[in-house]
Amino acid sequence: MINKIIDKEAFKAVLKDDMTIMFGGFMACGTSDVLVEAICESGIKNITAICNDAGFEDRGLGKIIKNGQVKKLYASHIGLNPLVGKMMSEGMLEVELSPQGTLVERIRCAGAGLGGVLTPTGLDTDVELGKCIIKVQGKKYLLEEPLRADLAVIRGRYVDRLGNVVYEGTARNFNPVMATAADLVVAGADEIVETGKLGQECIATPHVLVDYIVKEEI
């Protein structure tokens, strides 16, 4: 069996400038602290970040943004991190806001190999600017294109040595779908357990999607 468990330093070795990185989490719940810290420490630059939100200044993706490492952010809201709004207004950070349902569907489409999602959400607003409008059965829809990443950073409550992931409560959020839509998937694990210890019906992300596991520092 391939050993997928690595330490924080080994994770840093896969990081490089100009990466597109997906971050699981909702208001930092379900976001890997150890992997965020490693990205901060690595000093890589020009990250395109995809996350439900911008976290907080001192938690989640917000720490990386505050560190000046992110050039563009795809998110559904940024209101909990005033710094991001300030950076966006001053032209220091490019932000593309996407309705939450649309955002997750764009990620799901990438994971499923689909060409995008058709949605009426955003029609007749600034959201439609520059986007393709398609008429289906007499109704107009926006074509929202897939979002894929070089790396997905996810977090599980329990991860077995093979890489099967179980999430706890609402920490599940964006993590499972992001694990399907990235070239490399690294799971932060609150607890690493022996293979076979997890109930099959509880596994939300199967091991075939997970490349590496890093133990959370809790």
* Structural domain contains residue 3: no
* Structural domain contains residue 122: no
pLDDT of 47 > 70? The answer is yes
* Structural domain contains residue 12: yes
Q: Nearest-5° angle of CA 169, CA 186, CA 45? A: 115
pLDDT of 26 > 70? The answer is yes
What residues have CB less than 8 Å from 80, skipping those under 6 apart?
27, 53, 54, 55, 56
pLDDT of 1 > 80? The answer is no
pLDDT value at residue 2: 80
CATH code of 93's domain: 3.40.1080.10
Distance of alpha carbon 108 from alpha carbon 212, whole angstroms: 21
pLDDT of 63 > 70? The answer is yes
Average pLDDT over residues 188-198: 95
Q: Give backbone dihedrals phi and psi of 73, rounded to 5 degrees, phi first.
A: -130, 130
Sign of CA dihedral 52, 53, 55, 57: positive
Can you tell me whether residue 58 is helix, strand or coil?
coil
* Structural domain contains residue 52: yes
Distance of alpha carbon 64 from alpha carbon 10, whole angstroms: 19
pLDDT value at residue 150: 98
* Structural domain contains residue 84: yes
pLDDT value at residue 218: 64
Considering the chain, what is the average pLDDT of its residues? 96
Domain range enclosing 24 = 8-116+146-215
Number of domains in the chain: 1
* Structural domain contains residue 63: yes
* Structural domain contains residue 26: yes
